[in-house]
């Protein structure tokens, strides 16, 4: 005789009659006390916030409701959206150009592109915006002409650079620097073997960039650019200092008149929040799509670990 008991029953079962079969017992994870404490804190904070929002009359929710869809505010919102789209488009195009220069075979070109990135990332964008607004103080006249001929046209810079052009130029140039770094990071993420395979076929630098490097770096570039887009949406509030009638400036114009500062700032916040949430949905789709292609491209296990898995054991 090898065994007198059911082989799947453990010693533990035998001690307590009526215990269930060891093979069918559920596996249970107990929640730690810390999790309950955290839940209680979370609920307390939520109640506190809700209470003050509802009982503090200074919030003036009726004013918020009144101005939320006021024409001035909506016009400001449209201006913000237009600025975002313009600056992202110019910023991305110029950024791609700078990124290509940054990986040029010619050292002076690389240095120039590097200097551009260093300058525009190294100085505050608010200062840059004010600088562009006041550029006429530096170069009052711009002469556009054909060199060594009499054909030329003088342009008054003060008239050329309005608040909105200064805003678009300032934000685009600044965005281009960040975007260039995103592109460069994307290019660097392409496997070295891919470039060697292209070289081995005798591909030119341009073809290599267009057909091999850019398409393969998209999984890195597109989600990061989406984040930049959302960031840019909020960054446009900076141009209110130039007096561009975007969302923040629009509400400022109103509360300068009515002194209802807090409710109008809440109006602006509500719109920023709504737009950001609307943008983050396509952004999450884009991220998901590209994380899948990336997994396929590199033959890695299908999905990246979720944030909670990275934080540690969360059960």
Partner 1 sequence: MNADGTVYARGLRKSFGDRVVLDSIDLEVACGEIVCIIGPSGSGKSTLLRCIDGLEEIDRGVLRVNGEDLGFRETSTSYQALKRKEVAAQRTRIGMVFQSFNLFPNMTAQENVMSGPVLVKRAPKAESRRRADALLTSVGLTGHGDHYPWQLSGGQQQRVAIARSLAMDPKVMLFDEPTSALDPERVGEVLAVMKDLAHRGMTMLIATHEMGFAREVADTVIFMDGGLVVEQGKPADVLGNPQEPRTCKFLQSVL
Q: Is 301 in the site for partner 1 (CB under 8 A)?
A: no
Q: How far is the CB of 154 from partner 1 (least distance, A)?
A: 43
Neighbours of 80 (CB within 10 A): 27
Q: Is 215 in the site for partner 1 (CB under 8 A)?
A: yes
Contact 64, 270 (CB under 8 A): yes
Binding mask 88-117 for partner 1 (x = CB under 8 A): -----------------x------------
Contact 220, 189 (CB under 8 A): yes
Question: For partner 1, which stretch binds (CB under 8 A), given 53-61, 121-129, 208-216, 234-242?
Answer: 208-216
Could you report how far apart the first and last alpha carbons of the chain are, in Å?
Answer: 43
E strands within 227-315? none
Q: Is 297 in the site for partner 1 (CB under 8 A)?
A: yes
Among 128, 174, 175, 216, binds partner 1 (CB under 8 A): 216
3-state secondary structure of 152: strand
Q: Is 197 in the site for partner 1 (CB under 8 A)?
A: yes
Question: For partner 1, which stretch binds (CB under 8 A), given 21-29, 49-57, 88-96, 290-298?
Answer: 290-298
Q: How far is the CB of 108 from partner 1 (least distance, A)?
A: 17
| Closest C-alpha among 234, 219, 311, 306 to residue 274 | 234
DSSP result, 275-292: HHHHHHHHHHHHHHHHHH
Q: How far is the CB of 189 from partner 1 (least distance, A)?
A: 13
DSSP state of 139: -
Tokens (6 digits) for 246: 């975007």
Cα–Cα dist 83/40, whole Å:
43
Question: For partner 1, which stretch binds (CB under 8 A), given 83-91, 199-207, 246-254, 257-265?
Answer: 199-207
Contacts with partner 1, residue ranges (CB under 8 A): 105, 191, 193-194, 196-205, 207, 211-212, 215-216, 296-299
């Amino acid at each position: 005789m090898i065994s007198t008991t059911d082989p799947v029953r453990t010693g533990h079962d035998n001690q307590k009659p009526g215990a269930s079969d060891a093979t069918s017992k559920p596996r249970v994870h107990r929640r730690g006390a810390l999790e309950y404490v955290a839940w209680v804190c979370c609920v307390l904070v939520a109640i506190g916030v809700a209470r003050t929002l509802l009982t503090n009359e200074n919030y003036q929710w009726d004013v918020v409701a009144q101005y939320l869809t006021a024409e001035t505010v909506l016009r400001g919102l449209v201006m913000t959206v237009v600025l975002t789209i313009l600056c992202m488009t110019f910023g991305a195009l110029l950024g791609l150009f700078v990124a290509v220069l940054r990986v040029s075979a010619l050292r002076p070109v690389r240095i120039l592109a590097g200097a551009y990135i260093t300058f525009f990332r190294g100085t505050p964008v608010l200062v840059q915006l004010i600088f562009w607004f006041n550029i006429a103080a530096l170069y009052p006249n711009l002469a556009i002409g054909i060199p060594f001929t009499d054909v030329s046209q003088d342009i008054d810079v003060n008239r050329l650079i309005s608040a909105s052009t200064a805003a678009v130029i300032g934000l685009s140039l600044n965005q281009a620097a960040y975007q260039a770094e995103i592109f460069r990071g994307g290019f660097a993420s392409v496997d070295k073997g891919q470039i060697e395979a292209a070289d081995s076929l005798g591909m030119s630098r341009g073809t290599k960039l267009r057909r091999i490097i850019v398409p393969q770096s998209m999984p890195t570039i597109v989600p990061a650019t989406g984040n930049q887009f959302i960031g840019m949406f909020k960054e446009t509030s900076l141009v209110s200092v130039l007096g561009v009638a975007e969302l923040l400036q629009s509400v400022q114009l109103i509360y300068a008149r009515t002194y209802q500062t807090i409710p109008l700032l809440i109006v602006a916040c509500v719109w920023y929040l709504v737009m950001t949430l609307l943008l983050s949905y396509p952004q999450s789709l884009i991220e998901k799509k590209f994380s899948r292609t990336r997994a396929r491209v590199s033959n890695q296990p299908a999905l990246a670990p979720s944030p909670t898995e990275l934080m540690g054991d969360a059960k």
